[in-house]
């Protein structure tokens, strides 16, 4: 029995071993999300927060799970585990608040796994023709980065103005504490989109993409959750179910199609996708027949 299971057993002494193991795995997911070393540190952090902040953290966690492509049932089980832990802590007198983040509703509508040419053009045009021109140029540039470079939304949220070099047509991304920064060359359409955004943003130091919500001025930059909402809302406005992760996956699939034709190896593909291991690319190859049927050109030449 691992340490996480032992901690879970403290809160649920009468549960079966299989239930304890399931709870333990769910808590380990939350531990990785919070970037903590142990389950105890994870619970100490969660239990030590005020009610509003604790619910906000779990809301961000839920959004992260949704974008990761996990099933609704798996996501809801992980949320249920956290609610159960908070309830148990309440019963022990450790807390005086509740976790109120609800389960995700399953509307039985299939998630979009691939966007065709018409859909991606529609999404780009929708972003580009919004009434608020500043928001329009910002959202359009974000979507171009999502599929032109297949960037993760957190990487885009972390971008600073100094990371973009308009002269060299490059952008520098940070992949994590243990990995070196990476400089990526940009397609001309991505450069044009970023330059258009900077005309509205200005050249003041700070995050590359600003939060334009007047009611949220605590942070000047966009969060990864905000980027998720921007893409989701743009899609919903034209009746598309789309997330940043779906755009990234579709971009990688499109590139792999070209890679096979050009004889580019999986190791070379890691430069584009920013995966750590080639095994991460297997799931794309396993869907080769689906890719050939439904993928369209999501790279900058659209």
Task: Name the phi and psi angles at 87, rounded to 5.
Answer: -65, -40
Give me the percent of the chain exceeding a pLDDT of 70.
Answer: 75
Q: Please, which residues have CB within 8 angstroms of residue 279's CB and are 6 or more apart in sequence?
A: none
The token pair that represents 62 in the structure block: 């839920």
Q: Please, which residues have CB within 8 angstroms of residue 163's CB and are 6 or more apart in sequence?
A: 171, 172, 173, 208
User: What is the pLDDT, as a whole number, of residue 17?
Assistant: 83
Q: For the chain, which residues score pLDDT lower than 50?
A: 1, 109-112, 269-273, 275-280, 282-283, 286-299, 301
What sign does the dihedral 168-174-177-180 (CA atoms) show?
Answer: negative
Q: List the one residue out of 33, 46, 57 whose CA is nearest residue 85.
A: 46
Quick one: angle between helices 244-262 and 266-273, nearest 10? Answer: 150
| CA gap 255, 248 in Å, rounded | 11
User: What is the pLDDT, as a whole number, of residue 227?
Assistant: 93
Domain boundary assignment for the chain: 3-91, 117-294
CB 161 within 8 A of CB 208: yes
* Paired sense of beta strands 164-165 and 170-173, if any: antiparallel
CATH value of 117-294 in 1.10.443.10, 2.30.40.10, 3.40.50.280, 1.10.10.10: 1.10.443.10
Provide the whole-model pTM: 0.55
Q: Where are the alpha helices (DSSP H) in the chain?
A: 3-11, 17-34, 39-47, 51-67, 72-91, 117-128, 133-148, 153-158, 188-201, 224-237, 244-262, 266-273, 282-285, 288-294
The token pair that represents 129 in the structure block: 């023709």
Calculate the dihedral angle through the C-alpha atoms of 77, 234, 109, 300, rounding to the nearest 10 degrees. Answer: -100
User: What is the pLDDT, as a whole number, of residue 148?
Assistant: 84
In a 3-state reduction of DSSP, which class is residue 164?
strand
User: What is the pLDDT, as a whole number, of residue 290?
Assistant: 36
């Amino acid at each position: 029995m691992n340490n996480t299971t032992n901690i879970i057993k403290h809160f649920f002494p009468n549960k079966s071993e299989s239930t304890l193991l399931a709870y333990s795995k769910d808590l380990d997911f939350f531990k990785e999300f919070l970037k903590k070393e142990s389950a105890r540190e994870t619970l100490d952090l969660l239990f030590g927060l005020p009610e509003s902040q604790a619910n906000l953290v779990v809301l961000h966690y839920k959004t992260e799970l949704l974008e990761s492509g996990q099933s609704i049932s798996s996501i809801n089980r992980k949320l249920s585990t956290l609610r159960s832990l908070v309830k148990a802590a309440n019963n022990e007198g450790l807390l005086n608040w509740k976790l109120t983040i609800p389960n995700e509703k399953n509307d039985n509508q299939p998630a979009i796994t691939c966007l065709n040419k018409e859909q991606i053009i529609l999404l780009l045009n929708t972003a580009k023709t919004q009434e608020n021109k500043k928001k329009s140029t910002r959202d359009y540039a974000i979507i171009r980065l999502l599929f032109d470079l297949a960037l993760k939304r957190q990487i885009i949220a972390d971008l600073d103005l100094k990371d973009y070099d308009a002269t060299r047509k490059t952008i520098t991304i940070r992949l994590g504490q243990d990995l070196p920064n990476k400089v990526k060359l940009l397609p001309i359409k991505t450069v044009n989109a970023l330059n258009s955004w900077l005309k509205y943003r200005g050249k003041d130091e700070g995050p590359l993409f600003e939060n334009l919500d007047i009611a949220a001025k605590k942070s000047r930059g966009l969060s990864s959750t905000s980027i998720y909402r921007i893409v989701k809302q743009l899609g919903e406005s034209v009746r598309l179910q789309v997330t940043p992760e779906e755009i990234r996956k579709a971009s990688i699939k499109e590139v792999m199609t070209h890679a096979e034709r050009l004889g580019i190896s999986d190791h070379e593909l890691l430069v584009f996708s920013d995966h750590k291991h080639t095994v991460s690319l297997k799931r794309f190859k396993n869907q080769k027949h689906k890719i050939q049927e439904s993928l369209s050109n999501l790279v900058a030449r659209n």
